[in-house]
Amino acid sequence: MMNARNSSKIIFSTDEGRYMKRILTGAGVIAGTYLFLIMPSLRRHRYTEKMKQYRYAHRGLYDNQNGIPENSLKAFERAVNKGYGIELDVQLSKDGIPFIMHDFTLNRTARDSEGNAVSGKGYEYTFAELRAFHLFDTEEKIPSFQEVLDLVKGRVPLIMELKIENADLKMPVCAEAVKLLDAYDGLYCVESFNPLGVLWFRTHRPDVMRGQLSDCYARTIKKEEQFPLIHRPAEYLAGNFLTKPDFVAYNVKYERNLSRRLCRSLFKNTAVCWTVQTPEEMKEAQKHFDIVIFEGFEPGN
Residue among 102, 134, 231, 288 flagged as catalytic: 102
Res. 195 pLDDT band, cuts 50 70 90: very high
DSSP string computed for 155-215: SS-EEEEEP--S--TT-HHHHHHHHHHTT--S-EEEEESSHHHHHHHHHH-TTS-EEEEE-
Q: Which pLDDT tens digit goes with each residue over 77-107?
A: 999 999 999 999 999 999 999 999 999 999 9
Q: Which domains does the chain have, with CATH numbers?
A: 48-294 (3.20.20.190)
Question: Does residue 7 have a pLDDT over 60?
Answer: no
Q: What percent of the chain has pLDDT over 70?
A: 94
Q: What percent of the chain has pLDDT over 90?
A: 83
Provide the mean pLDDT of the chain. 94
> What are the φ and ψ backbone dihedral angles of 278, each rounded to 5 degrees?
-145, 160
More confident site: 79 or 166: 79
Res. 9 pLDDT band, cuts 50 70 90: low
Q: What is the pTM of this model?
A: 0.91
Non-local CB neighbours of 77 within 8 Å, separated by 6+ positions: 151
CA distances from 133 to 124, 141, 239 (A): 14, 6, 38
Res. 10 pLDDT band, cuts 50 70 90: low
Non-local CB neighbours of 191 within 8 Å, separated by 6+ positions: 159, 160, 161, 162, 198, 210, 211, 212, 213, 247, 249, 272
pLDDT value for 221: 85
- Closest listed residue to residue 92, CA positions, set 184, 166, 32, 29: 166
Are the C-beta atoms of 118 and 133 separated by less than 8 Å? yes
Res. 13 pLDDT band, cuts 50 70 90: low
Residue among 45, 58, 134, 231 flagged as catalytic: 58
Residue 58 is among the residues annotated as catalytic for this protein: yes
Are the C-beta atoms of 60 and 89 separated by less than 8 Å? no
C-alpha 175/C-alpha 93 separation (Å) is: 13
Residue 204 is among the residues annotated as catalytic for this protein: no
More confident site: 161 or 219: 161
- Closest listed residue to residue 149, CA positions, set 174, 125, 127, 180: 180
Q: Which pLDDT tens digit goes with each residue over 107-118?
A: 999 999 999 999
Non-local CB neighbours of 160 within 8 Å, separated by 6+ positions: 87, 88, 89, 90, 177, 188, 189, 190, 191
Res. 19 pLDDT band, cuts 50 70 90: confident
Q: Which pLDDT tens digit goes with each residue over 221-243?
A: 887 777 877 889 999 999 999 99
> What are the φ and ψ backbone dihedral angles of 264, each rounded to 5 degrees?
-80, -50
- Closest listed residue to residue 158, CA positions, set 74, 250, 51: 51
Averaged over 265-292, what is the pLDDT? Answer: 98
- Closest listed residue to residue 134, CA positions, set 67, 89, 190: 67
- Closest listed residue to residue 202, CA positions, set 230, 236, 235, 241: 241
What 3-state DSSP class applies to 269?
coil
Q: Which pLDDT tens digit goes with each residue over 101-150?
A: 999 999 999 999 999 999 999 999 999 999 999 999 999 999 999 999 99
Question: Does residue 17 have a pLDDT over 80?
Answer: no
Question: Does residue 168 have a pLDDT over 70?
Answer: no
Res. 170 pLDDT band, cuts 50 70 90: confident
